[in-house]
C-alpha cells in the first residue's frame, strides 16, 4: 500500500455532499487552499448522486466546485494520528492530510429497524434503493413497497415511479395527526409546500397509508411479499423490492473521534458552525437533520467562517434559522412509535454483520456487554447499522469511538509502521 | 450514465455487459447474483447503498470485502460473491 506525499490544506472538508461542496466552494473562492474528501465515485452526496442535468442546482454547485480550485480527493478518513492531521485511505494508498481548519460535513445515514425477513435480498433502504437506481439498477415494471418513516418516503416513491416502477403502497409509521400538523407547519415555508404538492402529484394514485409499518418481509432467497400492519390490520402485498428506512441519523463517528461535543445526538455548533474543538467546524446533517437547503446554507456559512469572512457569514443566519425550524418539525413528526420495538421475533437477526439474533440480545445489560457476549456490532459496519437499532430497541447507548473508524486494509496500517508483508485483509476497530 | 458505452466483465464466472457508470453492486443485481453469504450462510445484497453497511461487499479481481456500491464497473473486471 503506497504512502502518498503529505498534502497540506488551509481548509480541509470531509464530505462531498451539498454542505461540504458549499463549504469548499466558499472557502476556495476566498483564496484558500482547500481539499474536499469523499469516498463515493463522485461528489454530490446521496441527494445529488448521479445528477448531471444541465442547469440543475446540483450541476451548478458541481461546476462551481470545479472552477473554485478546491482539490477533490477520493478517499475515506479513518484516523487522526496527531494535531491537525488526518489519515485517509483511497484506492491509490494512504493520504496524510494536514490542515489549518477542518470542516466536517459527514452527512447522515438511514436508520434501519429489524423485523422478520429484513435481511432478505431486495429489502433495502429507501435512500438505499434510490442510490442503486441512480447507479444503474433497472426497475421498470418492478413492484416496490415503500415503508418506514420520514420525508424520503414520498420523494423516493415519486422517483421510483418516474423510473417505471409500480408502487403498490407507501407505509408511513407516523400518525395522520402528526402528519397534518407537519403539513400545517409547511405552510410557513412556501418553497417546501410547493415541493410537497409536486411530490403528491407525482406519487399520483399510489396508496399512502399512515399508522402503517412492515411486520415481515416474506420469501426464500429474495423478498416476494411484505406483510404490513395498516392501522392495526395485517395485509400482505406481493412485491419485487421492499424499500424500508426509518428517517435519517447523522454520521457523527468522525466528530466523536475528534472529541466534538454532542448534544441530543447532533454535533453542537455555535453561530459560525464552530464545534467545541478549536479550528474544527461542522455543517449539514450532523448538526441536525434538515435536508438539502439547510445543508447548503450551513455549508456556505461554514466556508465563509473558516475563511474569516465573518460579516458575510452572518448575513445568512436568518435563512438558516428559518430552515432549522423545519428541521425541528421533522424530528417531531417522524419520531418512532413504541410499537416498532416489538417487530423483531426471537430468531430475527439484529446484527447483520455477525448474524446475532434478537433472542441473544434482549437479555444483555447494554451495548458493551452485547459486544463482548454476542459479537453484536463487531463486524465491518462497526455497529453503524445495529447500533442505531439497539439504541431504539433497548435504549442502549453506544460507547466511545476508536480508530480506525472504518475498516481499512491491514496494509494501510502496516504501511505506517514500515511492515508491508501482511496479506490484504479486513480489520475492524471502531466503537469499543 | 447516459453516455451508454458498454462494459464487459465477469460475474461469478459468467460474462455480463453493463452500461458505464454502473456500480459493482448493481452489476451483481443485474446478473441475478448475491453479493455475499453471511456468517450463518444467508444470502445478502445491498442495504444502505452508500458504503456504510458493507452488506454488498464482493470479491473484485481477487480482492475480498470490496464495497460493491462504491466501486464503478471497469472493462474486464472479475467479480465474485464474497463467501
User: pLDDT digits over A317-370, tens only?
Assistant: 999 999 999 889 999 999 999 999 999 999 999 999 999 999 999 999 999 999
Residue listed under C-alpha cell 473521534:
A257
User: Of A195, A220, A246, which one is at a domain's C-terminal end?
Assistant: A246
What ipTM was estimated for this complex?
0.96
Q: Which residue among A50, A52, A112 sits closest to B47, beta carbon to beta carbon? A: A112
DSSP state of A5: P
Asked if residue A80 has pLDDT above 60, the reply is yes
Which of A182, A156, A232, A220 has its CA nearest to residue A335? Answer: A182
The verdict on A150 and A208 lying in the same domain is: yes
Determine, for residues A136 and B43 on separate chains, whether the beta-carbon distance falls below 8 Å.
Answer: no
The verdict on A124 and A241 lying in the same domain is: yes
Asked if residue B54 has pLDDT above 70, the reply is yes
Q: What is the pTM of this model?
A: 0.92
What is the average per-residue pLDDT within A388-394? Answer: 97
Phi, psi of A217 (to 5 degrees): -105, 130
Give how far Cα A7 sits from Cα of A81, A105, A351, Å: 14, 19, 38
**Residue of chain A whose Cα is closest to the Cα of B37:** A353
For residue A276, being part of any structural domain is answered with yes
Q: Which residue among B39, B45, B51 sits closest to A121, beta carbon to beta carbon? A: B45
**Which B residues 4-43 touch A at CB under 8 Å?**
18-19, 21-23, 25-27, 29-30, 34, 38-40, 42-43
Euclidean distance between CA atoms A345 and A215, whole angstroms: 10
Euclidean distance between CA atoms A417 and A412, whole angstroms: 10
Contact with chain B for residue A48, Cβ under 8 A: no
Of A20-24, A63-67, A194-198, A394-398, the one with minimum mean pLDDT is: A194-198
For residue A315, being part of any structural domain is answered with yes
What is the average per-residue pLDDT within A124-142? Answer: 97
The verdict on whether omega for the bond into residue A60 sits within 30 degrees of 0, i.e. cis, is no
B43 neighbors B37 (Cβ within 8 angstroms): yes
Q: Which residues of B touch A40 (CB under 8 A)?
A: 50-51, 70
**No. of helices (H) and no. of strands (E), chain B:** 1, 7
- How is A193-220 classified by DSSP, letter by letter? HHHHHHHHHHHTT-EEESSEEEEEEE-S
Q: pLDDT class for A409, splitting at 50, 70, 90?
A: confident
Residue A391 neighbours by CB distance under 10 Å: 17
How confident is the model at residue A186, as a pLDDT? 72
Q: Which residues of B touch A222 (CB under 8 A)?
A: 43
Reported as type and span, the H/E element at residue A242 is strand A241-246
B59 neighbors B80 (Cβ within 8 angstroms): yes
How confident is the model at residue A51, as a pLDDT? 80
What is the average per-residue pLDDT within A233-241? Answer: 97
How confident is the model at residue A182, as a pLDDT? 85
Which cell numbers in the block locate residue A135?
447507479
Q: How many CB pairs under 8 A join A and B?
A: 116
How confident is the model at residue A412, as a pLDDT? 64
The verdict on A47 and A125 lying in the same domain is: no
How confident is the model at residue A185, as a pLDDT? 72
DSSP state of A140: T
A68 neighbors A102 (Cβ within 8 angstroms): no
- Residue A162 has, within 13 A of its CA and on its CB side, a CA count of 14
Reported as type and span, the H/E element at residue A237 is strand A233-238
- Contacts of residue A257, defined as CB under 8 A and 6 or more positions apart, other chains included, come to A79, A80, A401, A402, A403, A405
For residue A212, being part of any structural domain is answered with yes
The verdict on A263 and A242 lying in the same domain is: no
How confident is the model at residue A408, as a pLDDT? 86
For residue A422, being part of any structural domain is answered with no
- For CA atoms A22, A26, A28, A32, give the dihedral sign: negative
The verdict on A199 and A256 lying in the same domain is: no
The verdict on A199 and A285 lying in the same domain is: no
Euclidean distance between CA atoms A143 and B38, whole angstroms: 26
Q: Which of A126, A128, A140, A242 to probe the B interface (max B CBs under 10 A)?
A: A128
For residue A418, being part of any structural domain is answered with no
User: In which domain, by residue range, is A178 found?
Assistant: 112-246
Q: Which residue among A46, A136, A355 sits closest to B18, beta carbon to beta carbon? A: A136
Contact with chain B for residue A137, Cβ under 8 A: yes
Q: How many domains does chain A have?
A: 3
Euclidean distance between CA atoms A173 and A230, whole angstroms: 9
* Highest-scoring range by mean pLDDT, A36-50, A169-183, A281-295: A281-295
The verdict on A17 and A91 lying in the same domain is: yes
- For CA atoms A118, A46, A48, B76, give the dihedral sign: negative
Euclidean distance between CA atoms B31 and B21, whole angstroms: 16
DSSP state of B73: -
Asked if residue A255 has pLDDT above 90, the reply is yes
All domains of chain B in start order, with CATH: 6-81 (3.10.20.740)
The verdict on A241 and A255 lying in the same domain is: no
What is the overall mean pLDDT for chain B?
Answer: 94
Euclidean distance between CA atoms A275 and A58, whole angstroms: 27
How confident is the model at residue A200, as a pLDDT? 66
What is the average per-residue pLDDT within A235-253? Answer: 97
Distance (Å) from the alpha carbon of B21 to chain A's nearest alpha carbon: 7
The verdict on A119 and A237 lying in the same domain is: yes
Of A72-86, A232-246, A418-432, B27-41, the one with minimum mean pLDDT is: A418-432
How confident is the model at residue A421, as a pLDDT? 33
For residue A103, being part of any structural domain is answered with yes
What is the overall mean pLDDT for chain A?
Answer: 91
Asked if residue A301 has pLDDT above 50, the reply is yes
**Residue of chain B whose Cα is closest to the Cα of A46:** B50
Contact with chain B for residue A129, Cβ under 8 A: yes
Percent of chain A with pLDDT over 70: 90
For residue A403, being part of any structural domain is answered with no
Encode pLDDT of A189-205 as tens digits. 666 666 766 666 666 67
User: Of A200, A224, A246, which one is at a domain's C-terminal end?
Assistant: A246
- How is A340-402 classified by DSSP, letter by letter? GGG---TT-EEETTTTEEHHHHTT-SSHHHHHHHH-TT-STTTTTTHHHHHHHHH-PPP----
- Contacts of residue B57, defined as CB under 8 A and 6 or more positions apart, other chains included, come to A380, B35, B36, B64, B65, B66, B67, B68, B82
Contact with chain B for residue A380, Cβ under 8 A: yes
User: Of A246, A280, A298, which one is at a domain's C-terminal end?
Assistant: A246
How confident is the model at residue A424, as a pLDDT? 33
Q: pLDDT class for A420, splitting at 50, 70, 90?
A: very low
The verdict on A104 and A132 lying in the same domain is: no
For residue A156, being part of any structural domain is answered with yes
The verdict on A200 and A313 lying in the same domain is: no
Euclidean distance between CA atoms A51 and A103, whole angstroms: 24
How confident is the model at residue A407, as a pLDDT? 87
Q: What is the CATH number of the domain that holds A35?
A: 3.50.50.60
Asked if residue A4 has pLDDT above 90, the reply is no
- Contacts of residue A140, defined as CB under 8 A and 6 or more positions apart, other chains included, come to A163, A164, A165
Amino acid at each position: 500500500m503506497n504512502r502518498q506525499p503529505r498534502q497540506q490544506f488551509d481548509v480541509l472538508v470531509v464530505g462531498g455532499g451539498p454542505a461540504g461542496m458549499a463549504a469548499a466552494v466558499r472557502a476556495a473562492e476566498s483564496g484558500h487552499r482547500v481539499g474536499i474528501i469523499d469516498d463515493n465515485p463522485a461528489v454530490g452526496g446521496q441527494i445529488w448522486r448521479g445528477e448531471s442535468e444541465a442547469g440543475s442546482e446540483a450541476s451548478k454547485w458541481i461546476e462551481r466546485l470545479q472552477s473554485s480550485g478546491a482539490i477533490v480527493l477520493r478517499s475515506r478518513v479513518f484516523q487522526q494520528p496527531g494535531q491537525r492531521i488526518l489519515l485517509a485511505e483511497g484506492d491509490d494508498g494512504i493520504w496524510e492530510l494536514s490542515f489549518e481548519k477542518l470542516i466536517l460535513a459527514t452527512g447522515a445515514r438511514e436508520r434501519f429497524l429489524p423485523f422478520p425477513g429484513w435481511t432478505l435480498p431486495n429489502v433495502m433502504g429507501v435512500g438505499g434503493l434510490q442510490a442503486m437506481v441512480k447507479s444503474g439498477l433497472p426497475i421498470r415494471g418492478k413492484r416496490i413497497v415503500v415503508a418506514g418513516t420520514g420525508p424520503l418516503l414520498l420523494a423516493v416513491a415519486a422517483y421510483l415511479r418516474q423510473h417505471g416502477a409500480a408502487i403498490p403502497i407507501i407505509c408511513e409509521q407516523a400518525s395522520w395527526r402528526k402528519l397534518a400538523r407537519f403539513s400545517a407547519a409547511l405552510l410557513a415555508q412556501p418553497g417546501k409546500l410547493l415541493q410537497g404538492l409536486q411530490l403528491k402529484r407525482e406519487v399520483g394514485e399510489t396508496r399512502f397509508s399512515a399508522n402503517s409499518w412492515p411486520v415481515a418481509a416474506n420469501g426464500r432467497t429474495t423478498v416476494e411479499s411484505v406483510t404490513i400492519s395498516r392501522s392495526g390490520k395485517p395485509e400482505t402485498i406481493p412485491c419485487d423490492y421492499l424499500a424500508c428506512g426509518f428517517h435519517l441519523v447523522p454520521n457523527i463517528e468522525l466528530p466523536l473521534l475528534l472529541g466534538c461535543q454532542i448534544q441530543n445526538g447532533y454535533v453542537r455548533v455555535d453561530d459560525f458552525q464552530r464545534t467545541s474543538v478549536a479550528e474544527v467546524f461542522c455543517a449539514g446533517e450532523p448538526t441536525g437533520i434538515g435536508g438539502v437547503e439547510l445543508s447548503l446554507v450551513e455549508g456556505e456559512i461554514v466556508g465563509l467562517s473558516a475563511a474569516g469572512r465573518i460579516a458575510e457569514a452572518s448575513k445568512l443566519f436568518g435563512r438558516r434559522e428559518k430552515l432549522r425550524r423545519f428541521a425541528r418539525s421533522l424530528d417531531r413528526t417522524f419520531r418512532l412509535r413504541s410499537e416498532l420495538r416489538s417487530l423483531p421475533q426471537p430468531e430475527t437477526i439484529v446484527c447483520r454483520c455477525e448474524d446475532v439474533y434478537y433472542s441473544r440480545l434482549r437479555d444483555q445489560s447494554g451495548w458493551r456487554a452485547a459486544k463482548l457476549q454476542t459479537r453484536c456490532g463487531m463486524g465491518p459496519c462497526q455497529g453503524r447499522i445495529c447500533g442505531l437499532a439497539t439504541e431504539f430497541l433497548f435504549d442502549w447507548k453506544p460507547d466511545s469511538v476508536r480508530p480506525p473508524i472504518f475498516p481499512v486494509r491491514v496494509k494501510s496500517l502496516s504501511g505506517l509502521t514500515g511492515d508491508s508483508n501482511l496479506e490484504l485483509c479486513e480489520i475492524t476497530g471502531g466503537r469499543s | 450514465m447516459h453516455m451508454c458505452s458498454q462494459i464487459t466483465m465477469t460475474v461469478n464466472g459468467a460474462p455480463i455487459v453493463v452500461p458505464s457508470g454502473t456500480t459493482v453492486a448493481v452489476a451483481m443485481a443485474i446478473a441475478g447474483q448475491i453479493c455475499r453469504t453471511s456468517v450463518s450462510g444467508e444470502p445478502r445484497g445491498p442495504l444502505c447503498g452508500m458504503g456504510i453497511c458493507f452488506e454488498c461487499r464482493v470479491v473484485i479481481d481477487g480482492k475480498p470485502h470490496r464495497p460493491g456500491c462504491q466501486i464503478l464497473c471497469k472493462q474486464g473486471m472479475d467479480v465474485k460473491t464474497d463467501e
